[in-house]
């Protein structure tokens, strides 16, 4: 019985350490995810269409807003996983992200210099 109690205490300590490590790892992952999205822009309210090109959607939307963005300025763009392509009622709620390329950063820094 004493051996079981000792084993139980050791297992409880191990579980506590693992919980702490898991919590620390989750915080680190969240920080990395936020850092990776720091140069991303989320756009909402544009309906999903079959075979869409999100780069072209971004350029067209920017043009309507009198913002000069070219396809070369976009590093990557995609819909977020919140969109269910098989459920049309979610199509107006399918945000997408785009990340600007370094070229856009250079253009902006040249304009401010």
Q: pTM, whole model, 2 decimals?
A: 0.49
> Are 10 and 54 within one domain?
no
User: Are the CB atoms for 95 and 43 separated by under 8 Å?
Assistant: yes
Q: Which residues contact 82 (CB under 8 A, 6 or more apart)?
A: 90, 93, 94, 95
Residue 64 above 50 pLDDT?
yes
Range of the domain at 76: 39-113
Q: Are residues 65 and 87 in the same domain?
A: yes
Do 11 and 44 lie in a common domain?
Answer: no
| Length of the chain in terms of residues written | 113
More confident call, 3 vs 41: 3
pLDDT of residue 106: 44
The share of the chain scoring above pLDDT 70, in percent, equals 68
Listed ranges 43-52, 69-78, 87-96; the one with the highest mean pLDDT:
69-78
């Amino acid at each position: 019985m004493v051996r079981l109690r000792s084993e139980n205490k050791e297992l409880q300590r191990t579980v506590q350490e693992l919980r702490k490590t898991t919590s620390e790892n989750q915080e680190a992952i969240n920080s990395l995810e936020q850092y990776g999205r720091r140069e991303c822009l989320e756009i909402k309210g544009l309906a999903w269409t079959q075979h869409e090109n999100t780069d072209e959607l971004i350029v067209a939307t920017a043009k309507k807003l009198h913002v000069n963005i070219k396809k070369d300025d976009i590093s990557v763009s995609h819909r977020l996983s919140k969109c269910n392509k098989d459920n049309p009622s979610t199509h107006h709620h399918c945000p997408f992200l785009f990340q600007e390329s370094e070229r856009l950063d250079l253009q902006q820094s040249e304009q401010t210099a």
